Chains A and B, each alone.
Chain A
Amino acid sequence: MVVTVLGISGSPHRHGNTETLLDSFLDGARSAGASVEKVVLKDLSYSPCRGCNACHKTGECVVKDDAISLFDKILAMDCIAIASPIYTMGITAELKGLIDRGQYLWARKFILKTLYFSDEHIRRHKGLFISTAGQNWDHVLTGHFPQSPRSSMAPVLSTTTISSQTIWTSTRESKTTRPP
């Protein structure tokens, strides 16, 4: 079975550092036999979440635009790599705008309890965050993924040591069951 990989580039800047890193990851995935697709958020048209909370009751977003078709794709893929440069100590407004629009899926999962996945799906489903930052501060890449003090941190690789080999090693180590 072919593993499907979706790369989402959240940079407004085409072919910059972050997208180059994402491309390298996708090339690696392709050469390992995956079916790969890349989406550039800059080319899509979607508005930010309105915070209306209508989805808490309906499980549907009242705004119909490119974000919804992208979330359909996200749900269908095995591996999702999201990429964003760090702008002012956080992800870009493009990517934050998309993430916030996922609120209807949050509502389905945690309020309406209509969204759930099989164990098989969860084992196969992998997430990866790819980023670059201009600053050389150690904490520039950690501010935007707050973690509960009790949860174990996902493997973090600094930009200075990143390579496709270490990405794969770390994602494998982070789960007890590997994808086939």
Chain B
Amino acid sequence: MTIKVLAFAGSPRRHGNSETLLDWVLASMAEDPDISIEKVPLTEANINICRGCNACETLNKCIQRDGMDIYHDKIIEADCILLSSPIYCMGIAALPKALIDRAQVFRSRKYVLKLPIVPPERKGKRLGAFLASAGQDWKYVFDAAVPSVKCFYHVIDIRDADISYLMINHVDEKGAIEKHPTAKADAMKLGKTMIAELKKRLAT
């Protein structure tokens, strides 16, 4: 049985600190032969911003036709969904915020139309992780990003307890994360832990 991992790289800067963090998690997951990984840089995903029209509350789908048509289905199919973002101006970057806002269709399905997001047999078996980097060394630099990330995972049926966070502050210039004392080891460990947990859950 293959475990499907969907990873959104949210930074507008390719191969920067938050994406490196994501790559480390994916590299440790890829050591397992039963894993299929799809990495999506949001710079290439063509996801428009939510128009706030609320049509999804009645239509159960979004009125916009763009990259989200593809990722909507992939989000449902994946066993593990990773999201990485740098912190810009004390919040999640605009590209991943657009993805999160477009998850409104899942929120309408789950809370308004009361329809399932994943089939019953897969419920409670999915995992999520948020990987973030920030230039500031303040401890509270991630505080505003987390509530939006939680919303994203909740509406796609990944419970609060099933979201992991690896957020590294005080890394700004490209490549700064390579010099961080624990980031790489923590990311590799996170990947291994998540795969072990997914295998356990999917075996039952």
Query: 24 pairs across A/B with beta carbons < 8 Å?
Result: A13-B51, A16-B52, A48-B94, A49-B12, A51-B93, A53-B173, A87-B104, A88-B97, A88-B103, A88-B151, A89-B147, A89-B148, A89-B150, A89-B151, A90-B92, A90-B145, A90-B147, A92-B49, A92-B52, A92-B97, A93-B50, A96-B97, A99-B88, A149-B140
User: Is the pair B89, A146 in contact by a Cβ cutoff of 8 Å?
Assistant: no
User: Is the pair B50, A87 in contact by a Cβ cutoff of 8 Å?
Assistant: yes
Interface string of A58-100 (1 = CB under 8 A from B): 0000000000000000000000000001011111111011011
User: Is the pair B13, A50 in contact by a Cβ cutoff of 8 Å?
Assistant: yes
User: Is the pair A100, B148 in contact by a Cβ cutoff of 8 Å?
Assistant: no
Identify the A interface with B (CB < 8 A): 11-13, 16, 48-53, 85, 87-94, 96-97, 99-100, 102-103, 106, 139, 143-146, 148-149
Chain A residues within 8 Å of B95, by CB: 48
User: Is the pair A146, B100 in contact by a Cβ cutoff of 8 Å?
Assistant: no
Chain A residues within 8 Å of B92, by CB: 90, 96
Nearest CB of chain A from residue B142's CB, rounded to whole Å: 9
Chain B residues within 8 Å of A53, by CB: 173
Chain B residues within 8 Å of A143, by CB: 143-144, 147-148
A92 to B102, CA, bound (A): 11
Chain A residues within 8 Å of B90, by CB: 146
Nearest CB of chain B from residue A177's CB, rounded to whole Å: 27
B77 interface residue per 8 A CB criterion: no
